[in-house]
Amino acid sequence: MFTPTVGPIVGHTTTDHARIFLRGDHDNNLAFAGIRYRRQGDTAWSKGHFVQLKAYRDMTDVIVLQGLQPDTTYEYQAGWLSPLSPTHTVETVQELPLQWPRKTYHLRTQPHETSTPRAYIVGSCRYLRITRGVPLLPGLGDRTFAGINRVVEQADPPINAVLMTGDQVYLDDLNVIAPDRNYKNILFKYRTAFTQPHIRKLMSSVPTYMILDDHEIEDNWPAYKTGNDEVLYANAMSAYSLYQASHSPAHELSSAGTFNKSLKRYWYLVAHGDIEWFVTDSRTQRNLAADDRRILDDEQEQTLLKWLIHSPARVKFVVTSVMFFPDSKRNDGDAWQAFAKQRLRLLETIRNQGIKNVIFVSGDVHGSMTSRLYHSQDPDFEVNTVVSSPFYNSKLLPFAKASDFIFDLPLARTEHGEYHYALTSPVVSQDNFARLHVAAQSVQVTFHDRDGHPLQTVDIPLR
């Protein structure tokens, strides 16, 4: 067997199952990928779990490991093969005397106890320029993931998941000169981005959740969409579905353990004890019409509102790739600032329902910060935001700074009062990522530089 050409990537992981993405290749028309695993400390490997790889999926697939034990470390090996006989099936490959790749990976299932302290890595915007099929200095962007790996290795409590909130790839890195529209080129960009050594190490061991932003398609999509962009969109979303959405909870798993490969939507929910994450798709379902301007489609908005109202989660994280607040002095129509009515509907629901401990998590702006939103007439209302960006910035783009945002005007006014916000941290204007430690009394947010050194720590009190 051969080492995966991309991956393995540990995706959605619960107390009893894990989804692992990997890519093979093909020497002929028949290829299979497989995984075997065992609890750390055991000597016997499980029987191999195999899938047949298909060219129309770029020789990628996801293998689901089921029947796992909570809060348990597992070792696993992963590989692919292209057997000589064209008659082989997933069942017959299991019986072959295979020599597995020697590399052993580790993953840990989620704890079952509700009150267990948990920790997460959050970040966005990893720039990687590829020109004529050659990545330009890819190690510069991968350096941040080396820093993340250092934090993961020393973390207490352990890191439960990594959340990448958008712009994991830049298809439009040379948008004026040579944007990627060809499907083959787009797939190559994903393979290159996800096979750099440090990000590959991270994703092979820590459950990684992703959601797209505009650069998975093109800058400020769909504001600048033209009639020539239909093929671009189809190719971009096909690649996104394979490499980012495939191992996410957006794909349903039946009670019988059947993995549904059809994809109805890109947004999804992650539940870790009394902590829940609603990961929104704030990019592909936008409506820019003046009479019903929205950043989330109606189904997604209604589901989000119901979750906010009815979920018993103690802490509710809402991931949105673009900033919920603060508002920018340069309103380019891309963030929630430009969808004020829908944003106000969410805020009024949170305030009127008395929902506590809602934290919006986003990226996009190439600057990191925490901010608190409050209400002039309702002292019980409070919403916080954590912005974490970028993993790695282009040398051609500036970093955000505090003076880029509006702090002297209300975010919104209603007949019942005004919404105001204030920074609760300095703005980080360098490559960075955030570590979120959710404890009993607070969410501790630590921003780290690209080498993993802490820059600043902010406590968001829980109520």
Per-residue confidence (pLDDT) for residue 227, from 0 to 100: 83
Dihedral angle computed from the Cα positions of residues 182, 186, 189 and 195, in that order, rounded to the nearest 10 degrees? -130
Does some domain include residue 1?
no
Q: At what angle do helices 230-240 and 183-194 cross, to 10 degrees?
A: 30
Assess if residue 313 is contained within a domain.
yes
Same domain, yes or no: 100 and 140: no
Specify whether 314 is located in the same domain as 415: yes
Number of domains, the chain: 2
In this structure, the answer to whether residues 147 and 233 fall within a common structural domain is yes
State residue 200's pLDDT score: 97
What pLDDT shows up at residue 213?
A: 97
pLDDT per residue, tens digit, the chain (463 aa), is 999 999 999 999 999 999 999 999 976 679 999 999 999 999 999 999 999 999 999 999 999 999 999 999 999 999 999 988 888 999 999 989 999 999 999 999 999 999 899 999 999 999 988 766 777 778 888 999 999 999 999 999 999 999 999 999 999 876 545 555 789 999 999 999 999 999 999 999 999 999 999 999 999 999 989 888 999 999 999 999 999 999 999 998 876 667 788 899 999 999 999 999 999 999 999 999 999 999 999 999 999 999 999 999 999 999 999 999 999 999 999 999 999 999 999 999 999 999 999 999 999 999 999 999 999 999 999 999 999 999 999 887 899 999 999 999 999 999 999 999 999 999 999 999 999 999 999 999 999 999 999 999 999 999 9
Pairing of strands 118-123, 159-164: parallel
What whole-number distance in Å separates Cα of residue 312 and Cα of residue 315? 9
Same structural domain, 276 and 128: yes
pLDDT of residue 135: 79
Whether 113 is in a domain gets the answer no
Structure tokens at 78: 């992963």
Residues 364 and 253 in one domain: yes
Classify the phi-psi angles of 162: left when phi > 0, otherwise alpha if psi is within -120 to 50, otherwise beta.
Answer: beta
Strands 6-13 and 17-23: antiparallel
Same domain, 135 and 82: no
Asked whether residue 324 falls in the same domain as residue 204, the answer is yes
Residue 52 sits in the same domain as residue 144: no
Domain end (from 56, 77, 108): 108
Separation CA 109–CA 65 (nearest Å): 11
Same domain for 138 and 98: no
| Statement to judge: residues 333 and 351 lie in one domain | yes
Can you tell me the distance from the alpha carbon of 210 to that of 239, in angstroms, rounded to the nearest whole number? Answer: 13
Q: How much is the pLDDT for 180? A: 59
Q: Work out the number of other CB atoms within 10 angstroms of the CB of residue 93.
A: 20
- 408: domain CATH number? 3.60.21.70
Query: Which pLDDT score, from 0 to 100, does residue 52 have?
Result: 95
Question: 57: number of CA atoms within 13 Å, CB side?
Answer: 24
Specify whether 218 is located in the same domain as 366.
yes
- 23 inside domain: yes
State which residues form the domain around 69. 6-108
396 and 292 in a common domain: yes
- Here the tokens at position 448 are 């780290």
Give the ranges where 195-339 is alpha helix by DSSP (H): 197-203, 230-240, 298-310
